[in-house]
Amino acid sequence: MDDPTPKTSFSAGRRWGVFFSVIISIAAVIALVIMVNYLGARYYVRLTLSAQTRQQLSPQTVSLLKSITNEVNIIIYYDKKDELYGDIVTVLDEYRLRNPKISVQTIDYRADVAAALVKDDVIYCA
């Protein structure tokens, strides 16, 4: 009456079926992540959450920024504690976002005197 061989809950075919199902599910999730990343990198929308941080550029400025073809490196020597610093950086970030050939670097001349004096292997003395 008692069967001496234990019954397996899963047959070999069912185990392989579950294995392939898991592999296909993982591959599908990876493919979805890659597709969302691809679409997000090419078709993005910038939203401003605060009206205070939004900087409107004039149409003349936008057309000038679109016409720039050379690499432009902007270095800001400014005190980060100054109240105008945030506005300056916001406007320059808008410029950088409108044209990827513009790069912005900030050097706080009060906090980092060495970086303010040495730029592009040239030491500036005041």
Give pLDDT, residue 50: 62
- The domain spans of the chain are 11-43, 59-123
The residues facing 119 across adjacent strands are 122
In three-state form (DSSP H/G/I as H, E/B as E, the rest C), the secondary structure along 45-108 is CCCCCCCCCCCCCCHHHHHHHHHCCCCEEEEEECCCCCCCHHHHHHHHHHHHHHCCCEEEEEEC
Distance CA 28, CA 66 (A): 39
Give pLDDT, residue 86: 84
Rounded to two decimals, what is the model's pTM? 0.51
Give pLDDT, residue 113: 64
Binned average pLDDT, 10 residues per bin, the chain of 126 residues: 63 86 97 93 72 72 89 84 85 88 83 63 48
Give pLDDT, residue 126: 43
Give pLDDT, residue 11: 79
Give pLDDT, residue 125: 46
- The CATH superfamily label for domain 59-123 reads Glutaredoxin (3.40.30.10)
